[in-house]
Structure 1
Amino acid sequence: MFTQQVDLCRRIIREHFGPIVEKVVTALIGDGRLPLGAVIRKTGLSPQNTRQALAVLIQHSIVTHAESKEGLHIVTFYSVNLKTILRLKRVGLYMGLVDERIGKEGLTIFRTIMANGMMSIASIRSALGIRKNTKANVAASFDVAVNRMVKERFITAATPKDTVTKIDRRMQEEAKLIGELALPPTSKQLMEIRRKLADQEDEAYYSSAIVGIKRAAVDSDSTGRSSKMRVHDGPDGLPVAQGLGIYSNGQSEPEAQLDAVDEKVCFRPYYDRLDVLLRNHQIANYFIDKYNAGAGIVVKSILRITEPQTRTCRDKTSNPVSVFQIIGNIPAEAQLADSVDTGSDMFYKRLQPEDDPMSPGASAEAQRKKRSDAIFALLDVLQSDSSGIVAKVEEQAGGQYRINFERAAAVLRDRALDSLIQEKFGAMHARIVRVLRDKQKLDEKTVSQATMLPIAMCRERLHDLALSGLIDTFDIPRTADRNPSRMFYLWFVNPEKQVRSAMSYIFQGMSNLYQRIDHEMAIRSALVTKTKRKDVIADPSLLTDYERKELKSLLAIKQKLEAALIRLDGMLLITHDINPHSSDLQLLQ
């Protein structure tokens, strides 16, 4: 845990839930897991306020609990999840994803769940005012949006084990299996039990079953067709409903039964799945910046096809995708002809107007061929890229391609860290880090030669980076006594230590931005209080010209600071959250 992280989490909680909940979270962060009595003593709040604050935090999946036997009594301990708190800064990005993929109905549902915490479908319907006398098309749109959000895993079912601390849940399951043995387990048996529990977790993780979905009954009309709404996978691989008139092209859909969402199951936002979509967006942007929009379209197509099988950022690689799936998944209106040179102009063949794919009267076959050639050429460029993110795994039938998420996370992380180092220290420091990352362990003289810096300047910059934790040293003794004066010292980049140092800077920067927002609001507190009066809300002309100018200035400053917060949070996503090994690092625990 980082010192800057504690202050940042406290400010985020105060922004979203208020000062009372902030006191409870501060106590849990500072002292770890605590029972209810200890939380009451440390916060100085009344028992009722403390219970209500804990209930709100559990409802929003921020606090987990576990029961432990203390003598003759069962005591409930509460602990806070810092990662969930930090994800609250991405709510705007999450809402943008839901709006893009599901639409306005899905955005309304997601906003309701974010505001109230875990909710059942019946509670969401009641909160949105959808009742039996509501128009049929409104209710049907709501049902389709909920179904798509559950199937796309934007929201997931909240099970009782989700509110229990992960470590305690593992200990309980392990104790249960040990209790079934006649004798105390040997070390070999204990390892076997833990391996069995790990296999069960992996099986549940890779399971395609979706909790909260049940098969709907089929009601047939006189024509023998089902009168229930139906869904099938559309061109982009997403389930699309039938019979609601939501297709823009008016095409008919194949018969497929709609799976209904269980009304009694409570749902919560699935942050891990939403982080996958943000990561995919960053990968596509990387290729757009490096090559062009056509390369980004091809990478987006691969990622979109593999999204249904990717639940979290834990996966190291995506499933293989055939080139024909990629071609069929790219939108017809995508402009790919000018994205890459397919080499067709090398033959100097005079084409007829109807065969020239660039001519207005070109045939559909010529346009398809030009489009396919461009996609094949872009795939060749992507799979030969030095980053190694796109890999070709099969040569038959045009080839199959996959995305290496582990490599993508490393490339994006290094890119973000180089940007951070350059902004904090300068271009020369960033150059030194890039050289050490490419060449591995180097001595001071070699670093000076590789970076084309004088030895004195290079030594100064190396020590600046070492003091910041962004690079490390490796010593090789010349003699057996390991005398420091008779050693070789090599400089190198330790990725884990570098990420830890960068995260401390990110947390400190986000905390400073919150302090600046509070300062700007404090020096204009009188104006803010006046704008909240009922008479001013009803008649804005009561504000003077100076007050309106100050209010406009405050909103502009706050908007810029909020944008900076989002950028820093995006850097946190890249440096830690999308790493498949982030759960092993435990930097945010």
Structure 2
Amino acid sequence: MDKIGSLLARKGRLPLRAIAAYTQLKLPRVREGLVVLIQHNLATWAEAPDGRGLVVFYELSIRAVLYRLRLGDVLQVARDLFDQEGQSIVQHVLLWGNLTPTALQQDCLDWPKLSAKRRSTYMRALQGLIRRRYLTAVQHVDTMTADDRAMVLDAEAQQKLNVLPSAAELARVRRQRLERSEAEYQEGTLVGMKRKIADDGDDEALKVRVGSFDMVEEVDLTMAFRVNLERFTLYLRNRRVVEFVHERTNRSGALVVQSLLGACEDKMRATHEELSPPVGLVQITQQLPKDQHIAQDIDLAAGNGGDSGYDLNNGSSATTQDLVRQFLDVLRADTAGIVFRDDLRGAGQFRVSFVRARQQLFDRLLYAYLNNRFGTLSCRVLRILHDKGRLDDRQLAKLALLPVKDLRRHVHELLAHRFVQLQEIPKTAERTPSTCFYLFFASPAASTDACLALHYQEIANLYARITHERKARTRLIAKTQREDVRLDPSLLSSSDRKGLDRLEKIMDLLEVCILRLDRQVLVIRDI
């Protein structure tokens, strides 16, 4: 399977026989490997006409592979939100790729041996994971890429037109497809959940009022589910924004932003949204944890209430809603500009600007990374280029307070790693190097790509180190896997035990480094 995956990562889309020819594997083995990759949501397929028939092309999802770097954070989030039962469910689904609830109960959780209370706890955790879209139902279209699905839907819509479509009609078809997809998502209809009329034995917390009936949502036990890693990434994105607000304000300010994002989390679709959905003041107040007191983190003795409409000096005690309003005013006045009021939707609607949050987080990460890797002077040069735009070496040296010789060394170092770009300006029509002068400049997009490439390069080096450490201790690892040693660990000598302890410490350090780098990748790529 590793041969097939690495081949698809290098070559891109390939048909079945081409994969077999490149890997020199037999067709049954290639089919088995592709089935495993599709089962774990790592590969997709698409049909393309070829003469009289159809050819199936297979493609590896690089993004799905890179998501596997943060499985540790994913399991921790599942534990934080849904306790140990939620973590166990997510872990088993990740292990199998996708599972039906029936298979999860019978093959993974040892369902017959669990008590009725434990079964109820597991079912509540499973329903919570599905309702909040951390587990999503597996459908036929999931094995196709988003672009392929869009092309199929657009082709079906174009066939309904009686005439050859114009460019405006094609744009209208695409716009209608996007609007229909957004409307279906916002309706909150979950595939894999069934509704029935509630009876007296059902949990009150699970009842939903539909018309004149009380309904209860149940999990469809025949539907297969997979882990929605993008949804977990969205939660990690929101948590990173909350941590940033905590650093700029205080604990209660972070709680207010956490409540704002939590109130609209169900309406969020992707991590690259520019703005959060609008949320009212009442919703934010209701979302606050009941055991948290935010009054101790704000000084109510000064100020006149700003434009919030609440007078802080009238001697009355402030309610929770008044306190939340004051915190939102403070966050809106912050220079970071992450929280703002949406005036188009009324005075009580607030939103979070993920664009501003990403800019603040990425700038801080970028300059800290450059300072650590290239030094303070290179960091200063890049800051000047970001602020001033295109400059030649003498102008840049004057602003950076450096000799031209030293400045060129730092600029060329940044140029080699693609943080800085070069523009050639000819003085004459000949465009010879002697008749040109050169301007250095840095763009945010190029800095993002360069920083992301270096992070992935370091992650690849860490995985290469893991492979080297394991290969250097192949004999010791093989010895520990023997049946007699598993039954009686005392058969290992003291030197073997020391070697295992050292290997375990090295593996832990390397995995922690990978996890830290992936958290930085979250800021660079997924916010």
Instruction: Say whether the fold is shared (TM-score over 0.5).
Output: yes
What is aligned with 1:472? 421
Gap regions ≥5 residues in structure 1: 1-20, 220-225, 234-238, 240-254, 347-364, 579-589
Alpha carbons 2:198, 2:214 under 8 Å: kept? no
Deviations 1:182-203 (Å, cap 9, x if unpaired)? 4443444434433333433444
Superposition deviation, residue 130 in structure 1: 5.5
- Corresponding position: 1:152 with 2:101: no
- Corresponding position: 1:258 with 2:216: yes
Deviations 1:439-472 (Å, cap 9, x if unpaired)? 4444444443443333432332222212211122
The counterpart of 2:510, out of the listed 561, 565, 569, is 561
The counterpart of 1:418, out of the listed 335, 356, 367, is 367
SS in 2 for 1:65: strand
The change in CA–CA distance for 1:304 and 1:181 in structure 2 (over 3 A counts) is: closer
Superposition deviation, residue 520 in structure 1: 1.3
Deviations 1:364-415 (Å, cap 9, x if unpaired)? x95x65x777655543332122222111335999844211112212222222
Where does 1:105-116 land on structure 2 (aligned, <5 Å)? Answer: 105-116=85-96
Deviations 1:16-46 (Å, cap 9, x if unpaired)? xxxxx10111222222212222212221223
What is aligned with 2:489? 540
Gap regions ≥5 residues in structure 2: 305-315
Moved more, 478-487 or 149-158: 478-487
Distance 1:112 1:44 in 2: 33
Deviations 1:175-220 (Å, cap 9, x if unpaired)? 333333444434444344333334334444444222222212323x
Alpha carbons 2:206, 2:217 under 8 Å: kept? no
Alpha carbons 2:198, 2:216 under 8 Å: kept? no
Distance 2:439 2:214 in 1: 64
Distance 2:458 2:113 in 1: 51
Deviations 1:99-119 (Å, cap 9, x if unpaired)? 111112211111111011122
Alpha carbons 2:46, 2:57 under 8 Å: kept? yes
SS in 2 for 1:231: helix
SS in 2 for 1:280: helix
SS in 2 for 1:95: helix
The counterpart of 1:318, out of the listed 267, 273, 276, is 276
- Corresponding position: 1:87 with 2:45: no
Superposition deviation, residue 476 in structure 1: 5.9
What is aligned with 2:242? 284
Distance 1:384 1:449 in 2: 35
Superposition deviation, residue 123 in structure 1: 1.7
- Corresponding position: 1:229 with 2:221: no
AA of the residue aligned to 1:534:
E
What is aligned with 1:194? 174
- Corresponding position: 1:38 with 2:18: yes
Alpha carbons 1:536, 1:543 under 8 Å: kept? yes
Report 1 or 2 for greater relative contact order, CA contacts < 8 Å, sequence distance ≥ 6.
Answer: 1
Superposition deviation, residue 427 in structure 1: 1.7
AA of the residue aligned to 1:33:
R
Where does 1:135-534 land on structure 2 (aligned, <5 Å)? Answer: 135-219=115-199, 226-231=200-205, 257-334=215-292, 336-337=294-295, 339-344=297-302, 375-394=324-343, 399-474=348-423, 489-534=438-483
Moved more, 334-343 or 262-271: 334-343
Alpha carbons 1:230, 1:256 under 8 Å: kept? no
SS in 2 for 1:66: strand
The counterpart of 2:107, out of the listed 120, 124, 127, is 127
Superposition deviation, residue 230 in structure 1: 3.1
SS in 1 for 2:205: strand
- Root-mean-square deviation (Å): 3.0
SS in 2 for 1:103: helix
Alpha carbons 1:178, 1:185 under 8 Å: kept? yes
AA of the residue aligned to 2:205:
V
The change in CA–CA distance for 1:518 and 1:130 in structure 2 (over 3 A counts) is: closer
- Corresponding position: 1:102 with 2:82: yes
Alpha carbons 1:59, 1:118 under 8 Å: kept? yes
Deviations 1:242-283 (Å, cap 9, x if unpaired)? xxxxxxxxxxxxx96431122222111112211111101111
What is aligned with 1:573? 522
Distance 1:342 1:461 in 2: 50
Moved more, 277-286 or 122-131: 122-131
Distance 1:311 1:192 in 2: 22
Superposition deviation, residue 477 in structure 1: 6.2
Alpha carbons 2:237, 2:526 under 8 Å: kept? no
Instruction: Report sequence identity in percent.
Output: 30
SS in 1 for 2:264: helix
Distance 1:343 1:571 in 2: 40
Q: TM-score, normalised by structure 1?
A: 0.79
SS in 1 for 2:48: strand
The change in CA–CA distance for 1:218 and 1:27 in structure 2 (over 3 A counts) is: same
Alpha carbons 1:66, 1:77 under 8 Å: kept? yes
The count of corresponding residues between Structure 1 and Structure 2 is 512
Alpha carbons 1:342, 1:377 under 8 Å: kept? no
The change in CA–CA distance for 1:266 and 1:376 in structure 2 (over 3 A counts) is: same
SS in 1 for 2:194: strand
Superposition deviation, residue 91 in structure 1: 1.0
Moved more, 407-416 or 266-275: 407-416
Alpha carbons 1:342, 1:373 under 8 Å: kept? no
